[in-house]
């Protein structure tokens, strides 16, 4: 039977086919424009005490105040302060891109205050005008300024019923470098800086488009961030939070993952957009050599000696092995599944690889360059980290909001840690023996005690996070 279409019918049919095709093709990321001629303010509400948790109130407006007394409004992330939800938790209250210059503080419009007590709640009278918080600050072009707002509940009630909220505003100075952690935020074009001990945001670094993978050179006090939207590696001074250099790659490279040799002299960039890796000299900050690898490389792991790097080629179902001193791809390991991430054990004689489409953890012998075993972990693995102190393997799962813990000695998973969502990236802090689990869909970073496998703290991160790194990681 033949089917005939009128000309409009043909156009409609072709349009439907087009919609089907583009729905099956990964769409490019929509990048926010980096800061250029303006600055950005992030206003965090600091954790409240248990006593302050008795207060409930609303903030309808927040503005920054220029030296000439004109105001610039900020965009509120939320407007309802529900005391118990803020006890011990830092939250981003408001933000905006604003002109560079001098400012003398902020103003807020507060409404609907209530105080809860053991015998019930009581409505409070609120001020008719704005509440001012005076603290001078400077906004610099192309920079992000985090500010921190603390609520003083002890001095916020007068005459028993009048709510006149008292806040203090501050910007942090230099943090102890040994306590520093970085989170890349591709959607916001920034690296968030946090204190890994207190689990509080303490800074932010404006970057180019879509920072993804990040690594620390702890000896030199530098960090390298892969800007997948700009085809650039940015160099960050950890002591000052300043960007001190850029290593330019080729247009369309889309770097997503980085590896640094133990001596800090050589950096390897996985370029997903061009199916290549770039070998970069960190001292001169230039590309030494470019190597072709498999299709759609998405991550890499370097062995403990720094002599070989293993590239996960997702579409090719393979791993490209790069000899770092010789700067060549000298082997390719074929896999059954689609590799996502890999991690070495303590001795470096086993490489564990998670796969997108099979329920097994692939075990590779690096000396033989072959698959030697499998460990059943269930489907949906998304991230992996090996604790080189115990050799236990931690696997973040795409489903079920959990981390599976596998033992290489028994070749099976032995424990489960419930998380706030899908764990996309993990790292381990050697100083406190804790695991940091980055959960983009839950907008949170969770800190887990590796001794008892309990979550001991968490940090709200906002949307669109990609990777986390901490000083002193193992």
pLDDT band of 3, cuts 50, 70, 90: very low
pLDDT band at 399 (very low <50, low <70, confident <90, very high): confident
Band of pLDDT at residue 413, cut at 50, 70 and 90:
confident
Residue whose pair of structure tokens reads 């005690």 in the numeric block: 449
pLDDT band at residue 6 under the 50/70/90 scheme: very low
Q: How confident is the model at residue 26 (pLDDT cuts 50, 70, 90)?
A: very low
Q: How far apart are CA 402 and CA 386, in angstroms?
A: 16
pLDDT (0 to 100) of residue 7: 40
* The pLDDT value given to residue 422: 96
Cβ-based neighbours of 117, under 8 Å, separated by 6 or more: 54
At residue 130, the pLDDT reads 93
* pLDDT for residue 244: 97
Arithmetic mean of pLDDT, 450-473: 96
Q: In this predicted model, what pLDDT tens digit does every residue of 336-352 receive, in sequence order?
A: 999 999 999 999 999 99
pLDDT of residue 31: 59
Confidence class of residue 457 from pLDDT cuts 50, 70 and 90?
very high
What average pLDDT does the structure give for the chain?
Answer: 92
Give me the pLDDT at residue 202, please.
96
Residue 287 burial (C-beta neighbours within 10 Å; 0-12, 13-18, 19+) = middle
Task: Count CB atoms within 10 A of the CB of residue 188.
Answer: 22
Cβ(442)–Cβ(159) below 8 Å? no
- On the question of pLDDT at 14 being above 70, the answer is no
Give the residue from 422, 409, 417, 402 showing the smallest Cα distance to 465.
Answer: 422
Cβ atoms < 10 Å from Cβ of 424: 19
Residue 295 pLDDT exceeds 90:
yes
pLDDT over threshold 50, residue 38: yes
- DSSP-derived 3-state class of residue 207: coil
Q: Which fold has domain 208-334?
A: Methylamine Dehydrogenase; Chain H (2.130.10)
pLDDT over 70 at 335, yes or no? yes
* Confidence label for 30 from pLDDT (cuts 50, 70 and 90): low
Query: Which helix (H) or strand (E) is 7 found in, with range?
Result: helix 7-24
What's the mean pLDDT in 81-104? Answer: 96
Question: Does 7 or 43 have the greater pLDDT score?
Answer: 43
| Res 35 pLDDT > 60 | yes
pLDDT bin (cut points 50, 70, 90) of residue 307 is very high
What does the pLDDT average to over 365-394? 96
In this model, does residue 219 exceed pLDDT 60?
yes
> Domain 38-170 - what CATH class?
mainly beta
Question: pLDDT at residue 312 above 90?
Answer: yes
Q: Does 10 score more than 80 pLDDT?
A: no
Judged against a pLDDT cut of 50, whether residue 18 lies above it is answered with: no
> How far, in whole angstroms, is CA 71 from its chain's centroid?
32
Buried b (16+ CB within 10 A) or exposed e, 372-408: eebbebeebbbbbbbbbeeebbbbbbbeebbbbbbeb
CA dist 336 and 49 (Å) reads 53
pTM recorded for the entire structure: 0.91
Query: Which tens digits make up the pLDDT trace of 220-277?
Result: 999 999 999 999 999 999 999 999 999 999 999 999 999 999 999 999 999 999 999 9
Q: How far apart are CA 202 and CA 194, in angstroms?
A: 5
The domain locations on the chain are 38-170, 208-334
């Amino acid at each position: 039977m033949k089917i005939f279409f009128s000309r409009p019918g043909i156009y409609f049919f072709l349009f439907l086919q087009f919609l089907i095709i583009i729905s099956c093709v990964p769409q490019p990321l929509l990048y926010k424009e980096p800061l250029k001629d303006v600055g950005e303010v992030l206003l965090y509400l600091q954790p409240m005490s248990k006593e302050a948790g008795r207060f409930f109130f609303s903030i309808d407006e927040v503005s920054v105040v220029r030296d000439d007394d004109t105001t610039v409004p900020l965009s509120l992330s939320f407007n309802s302060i529900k005391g118990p939800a803020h006890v011990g938790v830092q939250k981003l209250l408001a933000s905006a891109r604003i002109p560079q210059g001098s400012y003398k503080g902020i103003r807020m419009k507060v409404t609907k205050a209530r105080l809860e007590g053991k015998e019930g709640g009581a409505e409070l009278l609120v001020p008719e005008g704005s509440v001012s918080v005076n603290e001078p600050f400077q906004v610099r072009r192309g920079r992000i300024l985090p500010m921190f707002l603390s609520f003083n509940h002890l001095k916020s009630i007068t005459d028993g019923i009048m709510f006149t909220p008292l806040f203090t505003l501050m910007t942090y100075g230099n943090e102890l470098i040994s306590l520093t952690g970085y989170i890349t935020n591709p959607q916001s074009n920034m690296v968030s800086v946090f204190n890994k001990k207190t689990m509080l945001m303490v800074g932010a670094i404006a970057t180019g488009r879509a920072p993804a993978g990040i690594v620390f050179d702890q000896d030199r006090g530098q960090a390298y961030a892969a800007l997948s939207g700009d085809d650039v590696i940015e160099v960050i001074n950890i002591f000052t939070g300043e960007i001190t250099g850029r290593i330019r790659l080729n247009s369309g490279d889309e770097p997503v993952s980085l590896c640094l040799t133990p001596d800090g002299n050589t950096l390897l960039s996985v370029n997903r957009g061009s199916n290549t890796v770039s070998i970069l000299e960190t001292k001169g900050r230039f590309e030494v050599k470019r190597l072709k690898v498999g299709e759609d490389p998405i991550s890499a792991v370097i062995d403990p000696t720094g002599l070989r790097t293993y590239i996960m080629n997702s579409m090719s179902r393979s791993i490209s092995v790069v000899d770092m001193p010789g700067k060549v791809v000298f082997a390719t390991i074929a896999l059954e599944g689609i590799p996502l991430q890999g991690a070495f054990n303590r001795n470096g004689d086993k490489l564990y690889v998670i796969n997108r489409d099979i329920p097994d953890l692939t075990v590779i012998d690096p000396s033989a360059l072959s698959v030697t075993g499998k460990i059943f972990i269930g489907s949906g693995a998304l991230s992996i980290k090996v604790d080189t102190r115990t050799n236990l393997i931690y696997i973040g799962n795409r489903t079920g909001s959990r981390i599976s813990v596998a033992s290489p000695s028994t070749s099976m998973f032995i424990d489960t840690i419930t998380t706030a969502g899908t764990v996309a990236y993990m790292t381990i802090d050697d100083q406190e023996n804790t695991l940091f689990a980055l959960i983009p869909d839950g907008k949170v970073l969770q800190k887990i005690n590796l001794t008892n496998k309990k979550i001991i703290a968490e940090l709200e991160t906002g949307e669109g996070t990609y990777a986390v790194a901490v000083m002193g990681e193992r």
